[in-house]
Amino acid sequence: MAQPVKSVRPQVSHQRLKVRRQLAAAAMELFVSKGYEATTVDEIAATAGVARRTFFRHFRSKEEAIFPDHDDTLERAKAVLDAAPAHENPIDTVCRGIKEVMKMYAASPAVSVQRYRLTREVPALREREIASVARYERLFTSYLLGQFDENSHNGDEPLLAEVAAASVVTAHNHVLRRWLRRDGEGDVEAELDHAFAIVRRTFASLPAIAATAPPPAAFASAKGEVLVTVARTDAPLSEVMRTIEQALTDRA
């Protein structure tokens, strides 16, 4: 009897990331010791113990080589969006998504700090970093745009989604840069939560975005003795009050 074929995708994915990280470590070592311009792809491959063709199976250029985890991190961020609870505010969802990026950097603080210093010194690496940031912004913009009701803002939905997504990414990067400048020391998670709270206060009240959350509800007892109100903590006070007034009117 034929045996079922076992999936090897997890092992393949793990091996792929392992090789990418080896190449990234080799590239960083050479960039620091020889300089970016003087380092060749052949030298990176040789230092990592792989063939030149293996290098190009993983990276298109040497500047791409010191960012080995962004592809996988982008997929994890997308998975957060795809699995978001039905009634979660989309701004909260995007904030959880971008936290996958911070986890990536925080997993290896020393490497992250060294990479940050290199990107400050080498324009080509800085451009690659900017391109990576743009990928996250496009992902989050697309997600937020999908949360708007059709024509909810007279055609301004693309602008609002892009601005909100960029604000979340900017808040994240602001905290990340400060943490890297401190050599990866400090409570970066608490700082990130504080930054996200500012973004939420700014954007969470957008009617079209907040519409995914259940509206406030008020229930009055049959004898009119008890009134129970259920509302999200970020629901506008005026909306909560209108709900209460309507419930009292219905019971009058």
Ranges of the chain whose pLDDT falls below 50: 1-12, 211-213
Residues 151 and 163 in one domain: yes
Kindly tell me the burial class for residue 139, based on how many C-beta atoms sit within 10 Å of its own C-beta (0-12, 13-18, 19 or more). buried
Q: For 142-151, what is each residue's pLDDT tens digit?
A: 999 888 766 6
Amino acid at 188: V
Residues 91 and 24 in one domain: no
Q: Which domain holds residue 230?
A: 217-251
pLDDT for 11 equals 46
Q: How many domains does the chain have?
A: 3
pLDDT for 148 equals 77
Q: For 86-138, what is each residue's pLDDT tens digit?
A: 888 899 999 999 999 999 999 989 889 999 999 998 898 899 889 999 999 99
- Residue 158's contacts (CB-CB under 8 Å, 6 or more residues apart) are 141, 145
Residues 159 and 196 in one domain: yes
pTM, to two decimals: 0.72
The CATH number covering residue 20 comes to 1.10.10.60
